[in-house]
Structure 1
Amino acid sequence: MKAIVYSQNGLPVTSPQSLYETELPKPRPGAQDLLVKISAISVNPVDTKVRADSPVTQPRIPGWDAVGTVEAIGESVTLFRPGDKVYFAGSIIRPGSYAEYSLVDQRIAAHKPASLSDADAAALPLTSLTAWELLFDRLEVKEGHGDAILIIGAGGGVGSVLTQLASKLTGLRVIGTASRAETAEWVRELGAHDVIGHSRPLLEGLREIGVSSVRYVASLTHTDKHYPQIVEALAPQGRLAVIDDPETLDALPLKRKAASLHWELIFTRSLFQTPDMIRQNEILESVRRLIEDGTLRTTKGEHYGKINAENLRRAHGFIESGRARGKIVLEGF
């Protein structure tokens, strides 16, 4: 099968060897696996981080978002059958989705939303899982009436889904940050009640909209830069959830407010084969239904054409520039 791989980490994305096409054996499904013929993928910041930072001893296939058709199933599979269209974000410790075929555990895959094209659906799995787990599993938001959530980086991939989930499924006042006028408009379209620019102090922006403190903060980017203000903005007994990679994060300043710190990583359940691993199937099936009934929308930003090394290098470069809004998708080989 065709696959786009890297065999040396740390190369600049302008190098043809940073991502290149090769031929690899078609994988065979294990007991819980689906063998999926890939039709569309999307690119995430984690793809660029793995390519840049993860050393390898043999070519590695990145990519953790995909849509495709089940071609074969393992002997223990009960949730799917050959011919089903599925979408998934995969596992960080398995070969990724930049290939004609990929294996995925049935417990972390779901049926593709029927109302979306393959490319539109490919934009959703990783960010939907991250946003849902952050909001409902980590922050444990119930109804949220009378409370507010501050989403730092609301215009990115995860933020674009989290803004929708918080505004559509809870009673929270949703406050997003954005860096540019077009991103701010995108965040408002997705349901944010207020948008503040993150080129200015967060506390100043909150004061301008009449908010003295927030019960929940989702810090999706630049946590280390904003952390002192996040601590100040949190209400007593508030909750902070983080997904990025600050160099350090001192939890001690949260003690005075008895505030809690939560990490969200969608790969934890598959990495440790947790007993509740099937929750990711359940979340993605819930997202599918919400897409099909019109509650949620795809967060596809740009379509970069065919799945090939050149287009993927271009997509990685754009993500690394920090200017991406929504998700970059690619489709077909």
Structure 2
Amino acid sequence: MKAVIIENYGSIDELKYTEVDEPKLKDNDVLIEIAATSVNPVDWKIREGYLKGMLDYNFPLTLGLDAAGTIKEIGKKVTKFRVGDKVFTRPDITRNGTYAEYVAVDENLVAKKPENQSFEEAASIPLVGLTSWQCLDDFADIKQGDKVLIHAGSGGVGSFAIQLAKSLGAWVATTCSTKNVEFVKSLGADKVIDYRNEDFTHVLADMDIVFDTLGGDIQTQSYDVLKEEGVLVSIADQPDQELSQTKKVKAGYVFLEPDGEQLAKIGEMIEQGKIRANVGTVMKLEEIQEAHRLSETHHAKGKIVLRVG
């Protein structure tokens, strides 16, 4: 099958579109013929070796952590799916990835594709959807009426998180650049802060939750807008626990765990029209170098989707 691999950690030049063996099916696996996958910042962070202290990979390595496609084969212990089912998934990060024509995934990490979504739209959802769910619902225990700040609202995670928070009854503020103000408003944001012209610490206060997607100084400044007993949840950096105690807030770093049941719930919300996919750019799988280059700018609007085959 065709796939994109890396044989060493390094630059974009390490990405090679080539022929590899099809993945081997375990008893609880489904084999998915991938119609579309997508690019996430974690992909090029893995490629560059930033996570090698956390994740032990063997080379050659196929990257990619989102997939939508059709089940072509099932393991002998699979009970939830049949050949021909249209599905989407965020596979286990420790197995080979989704920049490929086929991927083998444990059935517990797979969900039926929302019927009102194309394969390209569905492929944009798993990682950002599960990340938003596990940060806002699992960690922050978001409730109706909560005031929530979501940093970088026009990005892949941010654009999904805004919609999820709104669908759960929260009041949502977000930050973005001037060109994306109308876009994040269209997602339901109640307060939009153009970071080029405004300092969010000057216009917000007493927030119940801050969802930090940027880290660094932005994370540190976020404590200033949280109320006591508020929650700071980050996917960028581990928050300073000493500062968190001083500020009397709950703070933590969330690293996504794939979960088919949660993904199915997200799929239901999408079918109900509560959340929509945000596909910003569609490319072919063989254009992977250009896709990574765009992702690394941090200025991609919505998700970068790769059409396979």
Q: TM-score, normalised by structure 1?
A: 0.87
Residue of structure 2 aligned with 1:218, choices 196, 211, 217: 211
Superposition deviation, residue 181 in structure 1 = 2.1
Superposition deviation, residue 135 in structure 1 = 0.9
* Equivalence for 1:320: 296
Superposition deviation, residue 319 in structure 1 = 0.7
* Equivalence for 2:157: 158
Superposition deviation, residue 91 in structure 1 = 1.3
Residue 197 and residue 45 in structure 1: after superposition, are their counterparts in 2 closer, same or farther (change >3 A)? same
Residue 20 and residue 230 in structure 1: after superposition, are their counterparts in 2 closer, same or farther (change >3 A)? same
* Equivalence for 2:137: 136
Post-superposition CA distance 1:78-107 (Å, at most 9, x none) = 111111011011111000001111011111
SS at match of 1:37: strand
What is the rounded CA distance, in whole Å, between the counterparts of 2:58 and 2:187 in structure 1? 42
Superposition deviation, residue 62 in structure 1 = 0.1
* Equivalence for 1:189: 186
What is the rounded CA distance, in whole Å, between the counterparts of 1:202 and 1:325 in structure 2? 21
Structure 1 segments (4+ residues) deviating >3 Å: 54-57
What is the rounded CA distance, in whole Å, between the counterparts of 1:82 and 1:201 in structure 2? 52
SS at match of 1:218: strand
What is the rounded CA distance, in whole Å, between the counterparts of 1:129 and 1:44 in structure 2? 13
Which structure 2 residues correspond to residues 167-316 of structure 1 after superposition, within 5 A? 167-170=166-169, 172-178=170-176, 180-199=177-196, 200-206=198-204, 212-221=205-214, 223-245=215-237, 249-267=239-257, 280-304=259-283, 306-308=284-286, 311-316=287-292
Amino acid corresponding to residue 307 of structure 1 in structure 2: L
Superposition deviation, residue 57 in structure 1 = 5.1
Superposition deviation, residue 75 in structure 1 = 2.0
Superposition deviation, residue 21 in structure 1 = 1.8
What is the rounded CA distance, in whole Å, between the counterparts of 1:98 and 1:63 in structure 2? 5
Post-superposition CA distance 1:93-130 (Å, at most 9, x none) = 00000111101111111001111111111111110010
* Equivalence for 1:60: 61
Aligned: 1:3 with 2:8 = no
Superposition deviation, residue 245 in structure 1 = 3.5
Contact 1:197 1:205 in 2 (8 A): no
Amino acid corresponding to residue 79 of structure 1 in structure 2: K
Superposition deviation, residue 134 in structure 1 = 0.8
Contact 1:114 1:292 in 2 (8 A): yes
SS at match of 1:301: strand
SS at match of 1:91: coil
SS at match of 2:62: coil
SS at match of 2:108: helix
Q: Which moved more, 1:197-206 or 1:147-156?
A: 197-206
* Equivalence for 2:28: 32
What is the rounded CA distance, in whole Å, between the counterparts of 2:95 and 2:306 in structure 1? 21
Structure 2: any 5+ residue segments left out of the alignment?
Answer: none
Amino acid corresponding to residue 133 of structure 2 in structure 1: W
Q: Percent identity?
A: 35
RMSD: 1.5
What is the rounded CA distance, in whole Å, between the counterparts of 1:251 and 1:231 in structure 2? 12
Residue 284 and residue 57 in structure 1: after superposition, are their counterparts in 2 closer, same or farther (change >3 A)? closer
Contact 1:67 1:112 in 2 (8 A): yes
What is the rounded CA distance, in whole Å, between the counterparts of 1:160 and 1:129 in structure 2? 13
* Equivalence for 2:97: 96
Superposition deviation, residue 290 in structure 1 = 1.6
* Equivalence for 2:74: 73
What is the rounded CA distance, in whole Å, between the counterparts of 2:220 and 2:161 in structure 1? 23
Structure 1: any 5+ residue segments left out of the alignment?
Answer: 207-211, 271-279
SS at match of 2:138: helix
Superposition deviation, residue 205 in structure 1 = 3.2
Superposition deviation, residue 72 in structure 1 = 1.1
Equivalenced residue count is: 303
What is the rounded CA distance, in whole Å, between the counterparts of 2:253 and 2:235 in structure 1? 6
